[in-house]
C-alpha cells in the first residue's frame, strides 16, 4: 500500500508545478489520478490547492476511502449549493485534466464554480506521473518479475493446432492465478486493450491499435488480440502481454515458434534486438526522446526493413517505445515530436517490431527504467526466440 | 457481422432524431458509437448529416475499415485545412456526445469548425442504442447462451480453500475458451470493470462500483472483484459475470454454496427472486422505469430488508436493473428519476441483491428483453442457489 510520505511527495511536486504555472489549484476527477495523489481509487474528487492542504470529497464508498486514503476523506459529497463554499475567493484559476474529462463533467464543474477560469493540466499531470519514485520502481520490478514468470511457462502450453484464443486463455489464466489485476488502464481517447496479444497468423492484420500489432480479434466489435485462427508450425507466435499488479503495469513481448523461422524473420529479429539494445543503452537522463526513435528508424532502414518497421507497410506506428506505469500509455513516448529529455526514474517499454506480410510479425519488448547507467531491464527474462 | 440493412435502419433512426431536434448532423467520435452506426470499430470519425449520406473518415486502419464498414470509408484522415471543407455552409448545429468526449477532443473539433454550434446528443444516442433490433436480439441471445454454458460448469471447479481469484481465473479461462471477447465497455465516466465478480467473504466490502457488490479486489489501485481471500463452507459465493460476444454484453449472477446457508440468507434470496420475477413480468412496453424500482424497494422493505437492498446499509445503489448491449451501462435504468416508459426490444439486466454484513451477499441477476408478454429471459439457466 501507498505510504503517507509517498503521497506527500507527490502533492508537493504537483503544488510546485501549479505555482510555477500560476494555477491556484488542481481539481482531480479521473479515477487513476485521484488514486495517484491520494492512495484511494474510490469514486471521489480531489482538490489540491497550490498552497495548503488537499481535500478528498468522496461519492462512493466513503468507508473504503477512509480506510485507504492518505489524505483526509470527507463525505457525503457536497451538494451543489455547498460545493462553491469550499473554494475561497482567492481561487481564480483551476487546473483540470482536459485529456480525459468529458464535456458533461467539465460543464458540471464550470457551472458549480462560475467566474473561475479552467485550464488544462493534462501535460503537468502526465509529466509528474512519468517519473517513478523508488517505491514505484519497486512495484514495477515486482510486476516485471510476476509477468516474466508467466512468460516462462509458455513453452509448457503452446502447441500447434490450438487457436490463438486458446493460447490467450492459457496465458491469461496463469496471469490471473499469479494475482494479475487484469484491467489495463489506457489514457488515450480511442484506445482499448484486453490484457494483451497472443497472435500468430493474424499478427499481420492491420488495426486501430496505436502500436505495431493489433491482431484480428474475435469480431469487428472487438477487433484486437487473439482470433480463432490456429497456430501452425514454422510461423512466429507473438505473445505481447501486460501485467498489472498493485496497479502498476509492465509490458513485454516474446517470440515463440514450433519449428523454424524463415531467414528473413531471423534477420528481422536480430535487427529488433539490436534496436532495443541501442535504445536501452541510451535510456539515460538528458537523452532526447525523438532522437532514439530517429536512430531506431535509421537502423531499420539500414537493415532494409524501413517499410516494415512498427507495422505493415503504410500502417506503421510512429514510435519505438512508450511510458508505462499506472497506465499503459504514459509519458515519455519515444517518437517524433517528443523533443524532451528523458528523466531518471521514467519507465519505458521499448518494442521494436517488424511486420512482414505473408511471413509474420517479429520483434521484442521489455520494460526499462531510465538510469545514469542506461536502461535497467525490469522484465527479466532472456530475449531469445523460443524454439519448440 | 453487421448487415447493410441493419446499418441503414440505424442511420435513418438517427437522422430522424436529429431532424426532430433541429440538429444538422452528428459527429460521432467515440469508438463504440462509430461501430454501431458503421459496422467498424477502427479509429475513425463518422459524420452523419441530418439529410444525405454519412461519411466515415478513417485514421487507422483504413484497410480494415474498408473491409468492415457498411458506410463508405475514406482516408487518410483529412488535414486540419481540408476538414472544414467537408461541411457545407448549411451545417450550423452539430451534435456530439458530451458524455464521453474529452474536452481536448471537443476543443479540437470546435477549432476546426468555427462558428458552428455544438450540442449534446448523448441522450439521443443512448436512447436509440437502447432499443435492439431483431438482429441484435439474436446476438444477445447467443451471448446469453454462451455465458450460461460457463455458469453451468461452476460446480465442477468451485472448491473451498481456493481463493476468490482462483475461482475468477477458472471462470474467466472457460469464458475465454468459449470465445469471450473480454473487454467490457462501460460508458459512465468513472466506472471500470474487469469482466465480473467471483466473490464470497469480500462481497460485503463496500466500493466505488455503481452496483450492489464491488468486491475487495487485489489492491487499492484495482479495488474491485476477486481478492486473495479463501472460499469457506456455509458462505454464499456470488458469481456475477458479463459475457461479451460479437460486442454484445449480457450480465448474470448465480449463487453457490459449499454446505448450507443461514436462514436469513435463504429468506433474502427468496425475496430477491420474488423481486426479479415481479420486475420481469412487468418488463412490458409502456411501463415506467422508476415504478419498477419503487415496487422492488417496497418488496425489500416489506421483507424487512430495505436497509440491505442493493448494498450494505448506507451504501445502497439506487436501482434494480440496467440496460445492457454494446455497453454494460446502457439505457434504460430501472431507478428513481427514470420516468420514461419501457420500449419493445430494450434489454435489461435485473439484479436484486442483498448485502447482509457478517453473513454475506445474496441475490440473482438475469438479462431480459422487453416484450408485450413481459421480459424474455436471455440468460437461460435455472435461478436456484446451487448447493455443493
What share of chain A in percent tops pLDDT 70?
Answer: 100
Q: Does B30 touch chain A (CB under 8 A)?
A: yes
Dihedral in degrees, nearest 10, Cα atoms A278, A283, A286, A289: 70
The rounded Cα B322 to chain-centroid distance in angstroms is 7
- Chain B residue with CA closest to A222: the answer is B247
- Do B214 and B204 meet the contact criterion of CB atoms below 8 Å apart? no
Nearest to B250 by CA among B194, B195, B310: B195
Q: What is the pLDDT of residue B1?
A: 81
Residues of B in contact with A139 (CB under 8 A): none
User: Across residues B80-84, what is the average pLDDT?
Assistant: 94
The residue among B109, B136, B219, B326 with the most chain A CBs within 10 A of its CB, best to mutate, is: B219
Q: What is the pLDDT of residue B201?
A: 85
Upstream peptide bond of B102 is cis (omega within 30 degrees of 0): no
- Whether A7 shows a pLDDT value over 90: the answer reads yes
- Grid cell, residue A77, equals 459529497
Could you read off the pLDDT of A322-365 as tens digits, one per residue?
Answer: 999 999 999 999 999 999 999 999 999 999 999 999 999 999 99
Residues of A in contact with B207 (CB under 8 A): 42, 60-61, 64
Q: What CATH number belongs to B131-387?
A: 3.90.230.10
Q: What is the pLDDT of residue A61?
A: 95
What number of other Cβ atoms are within 10 A of residue A333's Cβ? 21
Q: What is the pLDDT of residue B234?
A: 97
Q: How many Cβ pairs closer than 8 A exist between chain A and B?
A: 216
Topology classification of domain A4-128: Creatine Amidinohydrolase; Chain A, domain 1 (3.40.350)
Considering CB atoms only, which of B43, B192, B228 is closest to A183? B192
User: Across residues B33-47, what is the average pLDDT?
Assistant: 98
Could you read off the pLDDT of A366-380 as tens digits, one per residue?
Answer: 999 999 999 999 999
d(CA B20, CA B50): 10
d(CA B261, CA B66): 56
Could you read off the pLDDT of B157-172 as tens digits, one per residue?
Answer: 999 999 999 999 999 9
- Grid cell, residue B167, equals 475461482
Q: What is the pLDDT of residue B308?
A: 98
- Chain A residue with CA closest to B249: the answer is A221
Dihedral in degrees, nearest 10, Cα atoms B23, B28, B32, B35: 100
- Whether A1 shows a pLDDT value over 90: the answer reads no
Could you read off the pLDDT of B363-384 as tens digits, one per residue?
Answer: 999 999 999 999 999 999 999 9
User: Across residues A221-239, what is the average pLDDT?
Assistant: 97
Interface touch A190/B228, C-beta < 8 Å = no
Sorted by where each begins, the domain ranges of chain B are 4-128, 131-387
Could you read off the pLDDT of A49-98 as tens digits, one per residue?
Answer: 999 999 999 999 999 999 999 999 999 999 999 999 999 999 999 999 99
Q: What is the pLDDT of residue B202?
A: 87
Could you read off the pLDDT of B105-136 as tens digits, one per residue?
Answer: 999 999 999 999 999 999 999 999 999 999 99
d(CA A298, CA A315): 18
- Whether A262 shows a pLDDT value over 90: the answer reads yes
Helix (H) or strand (E) holding B348: strand B347-350
- Chain B residue with CA closest to A315: the answer is B61
Residues of A in contact with B247 (CB under 8 A): 219-222
Q: What is the pLDDT of residue B249?
A: 98
- Grid cell, residue A54, equals 488537499
Q: Does A135 touch chain B (CB under 8 A)?
A: no
Q: What is the pLDDT of residue A201?
A: 85
Interface touch B218/A181, C-beta < 8 Å = yes
What share of chain A in percent tops pLDDT 90?
Answer: 98
CA angle A170, B326, B376 (to 5 degrees): 100
Interface touch A315/B223, C-beta < 8 Å = no
Least confident of A54-63, B200-209, B234-243, B246-255: B200-209
Q: Does B221 touch chain A (CB under 8 A)?
A: yes
Residues of B in contact with A246 (CB under 8 A): 218-219, 221
What is the rounded end-to-end Cα distance, in angstroms, of chain A? Answer: 40
Considering CB atoms only, which of B183, B208, B248 is closest to A60? B208
What number of other Cβ atoms are within 10 A of residue B21's Cβ? 14
Could you read off the pLDDT of B187-211 as tens digits, one per residue?
Answer: 999 899 999 999 998 899 999 999 9
- Do B366 and B350 meet the contact criterion of CB atoms below 8 Å apart? yes
- Chain A residue with CA closest to B225: the answer is A181
d(CA B113, CA B88): 11
Amino acid at each position: 500500500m501507498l505510504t503517507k510520505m509517498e503521497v506527500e511527495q507527490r502533492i508537493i511536486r504537483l503544488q510546485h508545478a501549479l505555482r510555477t504555472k500560476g494555477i491556484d489549484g488542481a481539481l482531480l476527477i479521473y479515477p487513476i489520478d485521484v488514486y495517484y495523489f491520494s492512495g484511494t481509487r474510490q469514486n471521489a474528487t480531489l482538490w489540491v490547492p497550490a498552497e495548503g492542504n488537499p481535500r478528498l470529497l468522496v461519492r462512493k464508498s466513503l468507508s473504503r476511502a477512509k480506510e485507504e486514503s492518505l489524505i483526509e476523506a470527507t463525505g457525503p459529497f457536497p451538494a451543489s449549493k455547498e460545493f462553491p463554499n469550499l473554494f475561497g475567493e482567492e481561487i481564480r484559476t483551476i487546473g483540470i485534466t482536459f485529456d480525459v474529462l468529458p464535456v458533461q463533467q467539465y460543464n458540471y464543474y464550470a457551472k458549480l464554480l462560475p467566474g473561475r477560469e479552467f485550464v488544462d493540466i493534462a501535460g503537468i499531470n502526465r509529466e509528474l506521473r512519468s517519473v517513478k519514485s523508488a517505491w514505484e520502481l519497486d512495484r514495477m520490478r515486482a510486476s516485471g518479475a510476476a509477468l516474466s514468470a508467466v512468460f516462462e511457462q509458455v513453452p509448457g502450453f503452446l502447441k500447434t493446432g490450438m487457436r490463438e484464443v486458446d493460447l490467450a486463455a492459457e496465458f491469461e489464466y496463469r496471469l490471473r492465478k499469479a494475482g494479475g489485476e487484469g484491467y489495463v488502464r489506457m489514457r488515450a481517447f480511442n484506445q482499448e486493450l484486453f490484457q494483451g496479444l497472443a497472435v500468430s497468423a493474424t499478427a499481420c492484420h492491420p488495426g486501430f491499435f496505436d502500436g505495431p500489432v493489433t491482431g484480428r480479434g474475435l469480431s469487428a466489435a472487438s477487433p484486437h488480440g487473439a482470433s480463432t485462427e490456429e497456430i501452425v508450425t514454422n510461423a512466429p507466435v507473438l505473445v505481447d502481454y501486460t501485467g498489472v499488479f498493485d496497479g502498476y503495469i509492465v509490458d513485454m513481448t516474446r517470440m515463440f515458434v514450433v519449428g523454424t523461422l524463415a531467414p528473413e524473420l531471423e534477420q528481422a529479429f536480430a535487427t529488433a534486438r539490436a534496436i532495443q539494445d541501442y535504445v536501452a543503452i541510451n535510456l539515460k537522463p538528458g537523452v532526447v526522446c525523438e532522437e532514439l526513435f530517429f536512430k531506431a528508424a535509421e537502423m531499420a532502414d539500414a537493415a532494409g526493413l524501413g517499410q516494415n518497421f512498427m507495422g505493415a507497410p503504410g500502417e506503421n506506428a510512429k514510435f519505438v517505445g512508450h511510458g508505462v506505469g499506472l497506465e499503459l500509455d504514459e509519458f515519455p513516448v519515444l517518437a517524433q515530436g517528443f523533443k524532451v529529455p528523458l528523466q531518471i526514474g521514467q519507465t519505458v517499454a521499448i518494442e521494436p517490431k517488424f511486420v512482414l506480410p505473408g511471413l509474420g510479425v517479429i520483434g521484442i519488448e521489455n520494460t526499462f527504467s531510465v538510469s545514469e547507467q542506461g536502461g535497467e531491464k525490469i522484465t527479466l527474462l532472456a530475449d531469445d526466440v523460443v524454439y519448440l
